[in-house]
């Protein structure tokens, strides 16, 4: 039987120490407090509405899961796969819609959920894609904002943390598909 909590078989701290030089940037407690703060803002703004939340895969799935459970209005959840990063740590600048968007965006209140806005290329592309489909309103929420790296302007309505120019992993963020399960947000030294 699997233990809960500290006794679980996969020890994050051990993995972090042995495998890669990972340092915690944002603890799970800090993330939790920030997700609560964002949810409170979003609850105020969307009271009485029925929006569709669109998460950008894969990185946003952990944030999305925590965020929606604190939202108290009816909503729909969709995901879209936009790929701009290859297997390294540098943005390729190339963006493609890997999987089509099934939500009917026209006339809907749309809230896009991102894990991180870096150069802005990915999200700027997707915002234009959505605008063409004539939503009733369109807003963007990101857990983290690497503002110093921006190459195209992006309006972000809800920002969790402004983060330094480091490659982040954990809480949904990966490097080569690893580390998404870390409960804290870490950077690779
Ligand atoms: P952008 O197009 O803004 O440069 O890149 C946005 C996407 O690149 C994010 O949605 C995220 O998937 C990925 N990305 C950017 N910075 C980081 C980072 O520090 N760590 C990880 N894991 N992904 C990142
Ligand atoms: Mg992403």
72 tagged catalytic: no
Cα dihedral across residues 125, 140, 100, 91: positive or negative: positive
Q: Which residue has the higher pLDDT, 46 or 4?
A: 46
How far is C-alpha 21 from the geometric centre of its chain's CA atoms? 23
Regarding the beta carbon of 85 and ligand 1, being less than 6 Å apart is answered yes
Catalytically annotated residue among 118, 145, 157, 176: 118
| Nearest listed ligand to the Cα of residue 122 | 1
Element (H, E) at 75: none
189 has a pLDDT exceeding 90 = no
- Could you give the CA distance from residue 54 to residue 60 in angstroms, rounded to a whole number? 10
6 has a pLDDT exceeding 50 = no
Question: What are the residues whose beta carbons fall under 8 Å from the beta carbon of 180, sequence distance 6 or more?
Answer: 58, 59, 62, 169, 170, 171, 172, 173, 174
Task: Note the pTM of the prediction, 2 decimals.
Answer: 0.86
| Nearest listed ligand to the Cα of residue 117 | 1
- Could you give the CA distance from residue 168 to residue 25 in angstroms, rounded to a whole number? 8
- Could you give the CA distance from residue 84 to residue 91 in angstroms, rounded to a whole number? 6
67 alpha carbon to ligand 2 midpoint, in Å? 16
Of 90, 115, 156, the one to substitute when testing ligand 1's pocket (max ligand atoms within 8 A of C-beta) is: 115
Query: pLDDT value at position 96?
Result: 61
Q: Which residue has the higher pLDDT, 139 or 6?
A: 139
């Amino acid at each position: 039987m699997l233990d809960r909590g500290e006794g679980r078989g996969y020890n994050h701290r051990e993995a972090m120490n042995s495998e890669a030089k990972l340092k915690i940037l944002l603890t799970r407690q800090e993330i939790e407090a920030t997700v609560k703060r964002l949810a409170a803002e979003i609850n105020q703004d969307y009271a009485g509405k029925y929006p569709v939340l669109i998460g950008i895969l894969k990185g946003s799935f952990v944030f999305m899961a925590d965020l929606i459970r604190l939202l108290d209005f009816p909503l729909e959840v969709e995901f879209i796969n936009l790929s701009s990063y290859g297997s390294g740590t540098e943005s390729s600048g190339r963006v493609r819609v890997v999987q089509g968007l099934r939500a009917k965006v026209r006339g809907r209140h749309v809230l896009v959920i991102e894990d991180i806005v870096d150069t802005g290329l990915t999200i700027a592309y997707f915002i234009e894609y959505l605008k063409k489909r004539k939503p009733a309103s369109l807003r963007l929420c990101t857990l983290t904002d690497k503002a110093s790296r921006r190459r195209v302007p992006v309006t972000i309505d809800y920002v969790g943390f402004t983060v330094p120019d480091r490659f982040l992993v954990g809480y949904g963020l990966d490097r080569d598909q690893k580390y998404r399960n870390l409960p804290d947000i870490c950077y690779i030294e």
